[in-house]
Amino acid sequence: MKSLFVVCALSFSALITFAQSSPTARVKEAFSAEELSAMSENQQSVLEFRAEKLCWFEAVKNPTESQWYSLTDRSGNMVVLTDAMVADFNPLLYNLPQQSNRCENLPVQTTSGKHYLLIVRSDEMMQKEFQRRLIKNSKTSTK
């Protein structure tokens, strides 16, 4: 019985992972074909990296915030966050504040009333993480 439960749990987590869009799909969702064709391969790689690593959500169990962060899209329109958007968040579609050397912790609330902390990595952290990825990729390509 326990093994059946474990198999079901692993299958469910795999489905959730595959249901989320890939970084490449997120870039294609955020930019038109013309915009993408005007970008270099390196620029697109950086956007894919940002789509994957820029931010994440953490559930807040006992929210004390009375004022929630107002999420806006790239055009400046207010966005109402849903649970589905949290599950498959594309940071390239939104105006997210990013500090140069510290993370942003943005309290947000979904339409269902769930509370999250949207954590946006600092520019410095993103640059370091990107350098690590480049080093890791160069090591695997030389093997």
pLDDT in tens, 10-61: 344 444 444 457 889 999 999 999 999 999 999 999 999 999 999 999 999 8
Strand partners of residue 78: 72
The one-letter code for the residue type at 82 is: T
Strand partners of residue 122: none
Specify the higher pLDDT residue, 44 or 140.
Answer: 44
Buried b (16+ CB within 10 A) or exposed e, 2-38: eeeeeeeeeeeeeeeeeeeeebeebbbebbeeeeeee
Provide the pLDDT for residue 131: 92
Strand order in the sheet with 104-109: 55-59, 115-120, 104-109
Predicted TM-score (pTM) of this structure: 0.77
